[in-house]
C-alpha cells in the first residue's frame, strides 16, 4: 500500500532523511517511532506529496508521490502535526468545507466518521479555535476522513493531548483499521508503539529497526535490571560510574540498568550499591520494553 525506497532529503547541510526504505501493507497500522528531529514529519510530507525527495522513490497505493501527486491527494487523508483547520470557522463549517473541496457531501461518507463526529456534534456551532485539544483532534480526524481515503497519514496526532484522549484516539484508529483503512502514524511516545502492528524505529533520519513491537522486544536479548533507592540522583551517578555497567537511564521511579555481562544478576548490583551506602534499595531483573530497546539501539548507533 505504501512503498518507500531509499528516500533521502536534505535541508541545506542537514540530512533529514538518509536512504529510508520500508513497506506498509494493506490494512496495516504502521508506526513511525522516534524523537523530535528523527525525520518523521519530512517523511510524511514526502508521502503526502507536499515535499519532493532528493533521491529515492515512494508510492502510495501504487501511485508515485512525485508523478501522480494529484491522484494521491484524492485517496489519502492527512492530519498534520499542527492543528491545521480554520480556527475562525465552526466545527460544522470546517467539515463542510473539506468535504466540498473533495467534491463530496458530508452525508455521502457520514458512516465512516460517525463514531468520531458524534462526540463533537453537540459543539458543531462552536468555532474550531475554541475547542479543547482532544476535540480539535477529533475534528481534524473527521476532516481527514471525510473523503473516505484508502490511506490515512497522521503526524504525531497525540502530541499535546491528555492521557484519556490519547487512549480514545488509539481506539478510534483501531476501529478505522478494521474498516480496511491503511494507517501510517508517527509518535514520539514509546508506549504507543506497542499499539501498532509494526513500527519503524527512527533516529536522525535513519530507520534502525522495522518489525512488530513484540518481535523487536523479543529479539533483544540483553539483561535488564531495575533499581531504586532513597536517593535517586546519587544512585544513577553511582551506577553509571561502575565498570560493570554499560548504560543506565531513569525510567519513571526506577533506573534501568544494562550490565556489560549478560549473566549479571540483580543481587550483584544490589551488593555493589550497598557498598555505596544506599538505603531502601530495591533491585530486580525485568523484561525490557520497547523503550529500553530503543535506548539501546540509539546507544549502539552512536
Among 14, 26, 74, 287, binds another protein (CB under 8 A): 74
Please give the radius of gyration of the chain, using alpha carbons only, rounded to the nearest integer.
22
Told to check if 82 binds another protein by CB under 8 A, we report yes
Sign of the torsion angle spanned by Cα atoms 288, 236, 36, 166: positive
- Alpha carbon distance 175, 51 (integer Å): 30
Q: Which is nearer to another protein, 70 or 280 (CB)?
A: 70
Supply the minimum distance, in Å, between the C-beta of residue 302 and another protein.
31
Q: Which residue in 157, 217, 144, 100 sits closest to 209, CA to CA?
A: 217
Told to check if 40 binds another protein by CB under 8 A, we report no
139: enclosing H helix or E strand: helix 133-145
Angle formed at CA 127 by CA 121 and CA 130, multiple of 5 degrees: 100
Told to check if 150 binds another protein by CB under 8 A, we report no
Among 49, 142, 158, 203, binds another protein (CB under 8 A): 49
Told to check if 11 binds another protein by CB under 8 A, we report no
Q: Which is nearer to another protein, 58 or 217 (CB)?
A: 58
Among 55, 88, 162, 244, binds another protein (CB under 8 A): 88
Q: Mark the segment that binds another protein (CB under 8 A) among 91-99, 193-201, 205-213, 256-264.
A: 91-99
163-173 core/surface letters (b: 16 or more CB in 10 A; e: else) = eebbebbbebb
Supply the minimum distance, in Å, between the C-beta of residue 79 and another protein.
8
Among 15, 51, 232, 281, binds another protein (CB under 8 A): 51
CA 268 to chain centre: 37
Q: Which is nearer to another protein, 89 or 135 (CB)?
A: 89
Q: How many residues bind to another protein according to rule CB under 8 A?
A: 30
Q: Mark the segment that binds another protein (CB under 8 A) among 101-109, 204-212, 272-280, 291-299.
A: 101-109
Q: Per the structure block, which three cell numbers stand in for 190?
A: 514509546
- Alpha carbon distance 292, 29 (integer Å): 22
Helices in 203-245 by DSSP H: which ranges? Answer: 213-218, 232-241
Please report, as ranges, the residues that interact with another protein according to CB under 8 A: 45, 48-52, 69-70, 73-74, 76, 78, 80, 82-89, 93, 96-98, 100-103, 143
Amino acid at each position: 500500500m505504501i512503498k518507500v525506497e531509499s528516500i533521502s532529503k536534505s535541508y541545506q547541510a542537514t540530512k533529514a532523511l538518509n536512504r529510508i526504505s520500508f513497506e506498509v501493507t494493506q490494512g496495516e497500522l504502521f508506526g513511525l517511532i522516534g524523537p523530535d528531529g528523527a525525520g518523521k514529519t519530512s517523511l510524511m510530507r514526502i508521502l503526502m506529496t507536499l515535499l519532493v525527495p532528493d533521491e529515492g522513490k515512494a508510492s502510495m497505493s501504487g501511485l508515485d508521490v512525485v508523478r501522480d501527486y494529484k491522484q494521491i491527494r484524492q485517496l489519502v487523508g492527512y492530519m498534520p502535526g499542527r492543528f491545521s483547520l480554520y480556527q475562525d470557522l465552526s466545527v460544522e463549517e470546517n467539515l463542510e468545507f473539506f468535504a466540498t473541496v473533495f467534491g463530496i457531501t458530508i452525508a455521502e461518507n457520514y458512516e465512516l466518521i460517525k463514531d468520531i463526529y458524534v462526540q463533537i456534534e453537540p459543539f458543531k456551532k462552536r468555532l474550531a479555535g475554541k475547542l479543547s485539544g482532544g476535540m480539535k483532534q477529533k475534528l481534524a480526524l473527521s476532516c481527514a476522513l471525510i473523503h473516505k481515503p484508502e490511506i490515512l497519514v497522521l503526524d504525531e496526532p497525540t502530541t499535546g493531548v491528555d492521557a484519556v484522549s490519547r487512549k480514545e484516539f488509539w481506539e478510534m484508529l483501531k476501529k478505522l483499521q478494521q474498516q480496511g483503512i491503511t494507517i501510517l502514524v508517527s509518535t514520539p511516545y514509546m508506549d504507543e508503539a506497542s499499539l501498532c502492528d509494526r513500527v519503524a524505529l527512527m533516529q536522525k533520519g535513519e530507520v534502525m529497526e522495522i518489525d512488530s513491537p513484540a518481535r523487536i522486544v523479543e529479539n533483544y536479548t540483553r539483561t535488564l535490571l531495575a533499581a531504586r533507592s532513597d536517593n535517586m540522583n546519587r544512585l544513577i551517578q553511582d551506577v553509571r560510574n561502575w565498570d560493570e555497567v554499560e548504560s543506565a537511564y531513569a525510567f519513571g521511579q526506577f533506573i534501568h540498568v544494562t550490565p556489560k555481562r549478560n549473566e549479571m544478576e540483580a543481587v550483584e548490583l544490589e551488593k555493589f550499591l550497598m557498598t555505596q551506602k544506599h538505603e531502601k534499595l530495591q533491585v530486580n531483573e525485568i523484561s525490557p520494553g520497547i523503550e529500553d530497546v530503543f535506548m539501546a539501539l540509539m546507544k549502539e548507533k552512536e
